[in-house]
Amino acid sequence: MKKLWGGRFEGKTDSLVEALGESVSFDQRLAPWDIRGSIAHARMLGDCGIISKADAKKIIAGLTEIGKEIEAGKFRFDIALEDVHMNVEAALAKRIGDAGKRLHTGRSRNDQCATDTRLWARDQIDAILGLLVGIERALAEFAGAHIDVILPGCTHMQNAQPVLLAHHLLAYVEMFARDHERFGELRSRVNVLPLGSAALAGTTYPIDREQVAKELGFDGISANSMDAVSDRDYLIEFCANASIAMMHLSRLSEELVLWSGPAYGFVVIGDAFTTGSSIMPQKKNPDVAELVRGKTGRVYGSLTALLTMMKGLPLTYNRDMQEDKEPAFDASDTLQLCLATTSRMLPSIKVNREAMREATKEGFLEATDLADYLVGKGMPFREAHEVVGKLVLYCSQRGKRFAELSTGEFAAASPLFTRDIFAILSPEAIVARRDNPGGTAPKRVKAALRATLKRLGAGSRK
C-alpha cells in the first residue's frame, strides 16, 4: 500500500502495519459527528476568508451528501485510508475536486479526532441521562405499588431490621440519581471545543474558534492546544461513571437473583426476562439480571484499558490514543442496553409479600428496638445492648422468638421489661418507629416517594 502521506517516504507500508494501524473498522461510527465538525470548520474557513465562500459552499454540500449516504448505509469505507476522517475527506475530494482538498486547512487529525469524540460523548451522555431518569422512574413506580410491604433489611447478608420494600427500592433510586449527577457534571467538561488546536501548537491561520464552538453547541474553547489534542480525561471519566452506574445495576441484579431463588422466594421475574434450562424442565433462570451483573466487569475493563493506555504517554498526541474509541464505544453501548433492559424488566416482577413478611420473623430483627426500649426506661445503651444480647442467646438455645417469650422471661432478663414490651415487637411497629428524615417509617417513605416522582417529573436531579 502506498503511504497516505507520500512525500516523505519512498517505501510502501507493510501489509501487517496496515492491519495494525487501521481504525476505520470501528471509528466509522464517528462519521456523523465527523461530518458535523467538518461542516462547521468549512463554514468558518469561508467566513474568515481563509478559503473562498464558493469552496466552502461546495464542501458543505458535498459533506451533506456523504452524510446522507453514510446514514443510508451506501457509503463504502476503505481500510486502506486508515480512519473515518480520511475516508470522508477522500470521498469529498473525489466528489468536488480541489475544493475538497482545502477542507483540512487550519486543522489536524489530532484536533479533529478530539472534536469528534467529544461530540459523540456529549450525545451519549444525553442518551444515558434519559435512561437514568427512566430507571429511577421504574424503581419509584415499583416502590409506590408496594408501599406497605415489609421485608428484612440486611447487613453482612444477615437479617438486621425490618424495612419497607419501598424504602429498599428508593435506595437504588438514590444511587442512580447520583449517576445522573455525575454524567451531568461530566457533560460540562466534555462540552469544550478542541478544534483549532491543530496538531499540537495551534495554527497560523486567522480562524474563528468561537464561531465553530457556537455552531456545534460547545460552551467554550480549549485553553491550551497541547492539552486539547492529548486529553482523554473525558473518555476516562465517561467510563468511570459508566462503571459506577453498572456497579449499581449489578447490585440490584444480584438482589433480584437472590430474591427470585427458592431460598428467598421474594419475587417472580416475568417470563420475558427469564430463560429455561436445556435439560431441566422446571428451571426459570434470572438470566437478564445475571447478564447485567456479568457485563459490569466488561465496562470495568474499558475503564482499565483507557487508564492503562494513557498512563505513560508524554505530550502530546501519540498513536496509542487510537485505542481510546473501542473501550468508550463498548462501555456506552453496554450501559445503555443494561439500563434500558433493567427498566423494562422491573414492571414484570411480582412480589411475594407474604414471604417477605414471614422472613422478618427470623434473625431477631426486634433486638435493637428492645435495647431502645430499655434505654427509654433509663438504662444506658451499652448495658441495654448486653441485656438484649443475652436474651438473644437465651432464645437461640431454646428455639424461641422474642414474641414467644412470657412476661416473666422478659422480666428475668431485666426488671425494666413490662407487658408493654409486646406492643413494639411487630414489624409494623418497628418500621413506624423509624420516623425521622431518611428513615423507613411509612409516612417518611411516602414523602420521599412523592419528592422523587416530582423530581423525575421535572426531568432533573435537583
Please report, for the domain that includes residue 278, its CATH number: 1.20.200.10
Q: Which of 25, 277, 396, 460 is catalytic?
A: 277
Locate 98 and state its grid cell.
480541489
Q: Could you give the residue ranges of the DSSP H alpha helices within 311-441?
A: 325-345, 353-359, 367-376, 381-398, 407-413, 427-433
Angle, CA of 266, 270 and 276, to the nearest 5°: 100
Does the residue 185 lie in any domain?
Answer: yes
162 and 120 in a common domain: yes
177 and 236 in a common domain: yes
Query: What is the separation of C-alpha 31 from the centre of its chain, rounded to a whole number of angstroms?
Result: 24
Is it true that the peptide bond before 316 is cis, omega within 30 degrees of 0?
yes
CA 199 – CA 109 distance, rounded (Å): 7
Domain at 387, CATH number = 1.10.40.30
Give residue 460's pLDDT. Answer: 44
126 and 99 in a common domain: no
Give residue 369's pLDDT. Answer: 97
What global pTM score does this model have?
A: 0.94
Q: For residue 428, what are the CA distances in angstroms to 46, 181, 229? A: 73, 35, 60
Locate 391 and state its grid cell.
436474651
Backbone angles phi, psi at 97, to 5 degrees: 80, -145
SS3 category, 280 = coil
382 and 262 in a common domain: no
CA 221 – CA 213 distance, rounded (Å): 7
Per the annotation, the verdict on 180 as an active-site residue is no
Give residue 33's pLDDT. Answer: 98
Per the annotation, the verdict on 156 as an active-site residue is yes
354 and 436 in a common domain: no
Q: Which of 156, 225, 278, 396 is catalytic?
A: 156
Does the residue 247 lie in any domain?
Answer: yes
Does the residue 1 lie in any domain?
Answer: no
Q: Which of 358, 388, 414 is the last residue of a domain?
A: 358
CA 224 – CA 388 distance, rounded (Å): 65
pLDDT digits (tens, 9 = 90+) for 38-92: 999 999 999 999 999 999 999 999 999 999 999 999 999 999 999 999 999 999 9
Give residue 5's pLDDT. Answer: 54
Does the residue 55 lie in any domain?
Answer: yes
Does the residue 7 lie in any domain?
Answer: no
Give residue 454's pLDDT. Answer: 95
Domain at 82, CATH number = 1.10.275.10
CA 331 – CA 120 distance, rounded (Å): 13
312 and 330 in a common domain: yes
Domain membership of residue 80 as a residue range: 15-105
Does the residue 294 lie in any domain?
Answer: yes
Give residue 461's pLDDT. Answer: 42
Domain count, the chain: 3
Does the residue 2 lie in any domain?
Answer: no
Low-confidence ranges of the chain (pLDDT < 50): 2, 459-462
76 and 54 in a common domain: yes
Q: Which of 301, 332, 358 is the last residue of a domain?
A: 358
Q: Which of 53, 88, 105 is the last residue of a domain?
A: 105
Which of 213, 19, 18 has the alpha carbon at shortest distance from 111? 213
What is the 8-class DSSP label of residue 314?
Answer: P
Does the residue 5 lie in any domain?
Answer: no
139 and 84 in a common domain: no
329 and 231 in a common domain: yes
327 and 242 in a common domain: yes
